[in-house]
Amino acid sequence: MKREEKAKHIHKILDELYPTTPIPLDHSDPYTLLVAVLLSAQCTDIRVNQVTPALFELADNPFDMAKQDIDDIKAIIRPCGLSPRKSKAISVLSQMLVDKYDGEVPQSFEALEELPGVGHKTASVVMSQAFGVPAMPVDTHIHRLAYRWMLSKAKNVEQTERDLKKLFPKESWNKLHLQIIFFGREYCPARGHVPEDCPICSKYGRRSMFSE
């Protein structure tokens, strides 16, 4: 079966299982989403959602956040891991938003990726979920599933992103990346995966996966 045909079947399964895709990170606007996505690096969405209420009570906009002591930010976000790096990034990017963008989150990949702590994946999430711009944010989980489902042989997330964009309609990207994440958590985890019980791997997964 060609990749294009397999992608259509997989897309259908994902649409049936996840007709709606709520954004997993709690937020109220593009800025709070940006901060939440930054915090989610090497951290679960559940943990981020436990931490952000206290952080956004301290400051929920770049003007107020830029005034906060970095140590106060670090103390709140410590459960998310990498708190020294993340707290500095939140502080500095908040000041940059104030200085360069009048406190608004810029609506371009290039501008977002210039902010500290914001890579291409984070920028893609913000562009897709905050501004509705078609994007295919690929993290290590989506990268793993794309390989497992034989949709990509890429060795890195950048190439996997390019491969998936070729296989799926542009108008589906924003919803699709969340569908893949939800599916991975429920049916296709990295560990303890039973391919025979997986709605996708049982039909379209790599044969090598059946030995996991």
The residues that are catalytic are 121, 139
Separation of alpha carbons 156 and 154, rounded Å: 6
Classified as helix, coil or strand, 7 is: helix
Q: Which amino acid is at 156?
A: N
Q: What is the DSSP letter of 42?
A: T
Separation of alpha carbons 46 and 171, rounded Å: 28
Asked if 46 contacts 31 with a C-beta cutoff of 8 angstroms, the reply is no
Give backbone dihedrals phi and psi of 115, rounded to 5 degrees, phi first: -80, 145
Separation of alpha carbons 195 and 18, rounded Å: 20
Q: Which amino acid is at 94?
A: S
CA R_g for the chain: 18
Separation of alpha carbons 155 and 26, rounded Å: 31
List, in order, residues 6 or more apart from 133 with CB less than 8 Å away: 107, 127
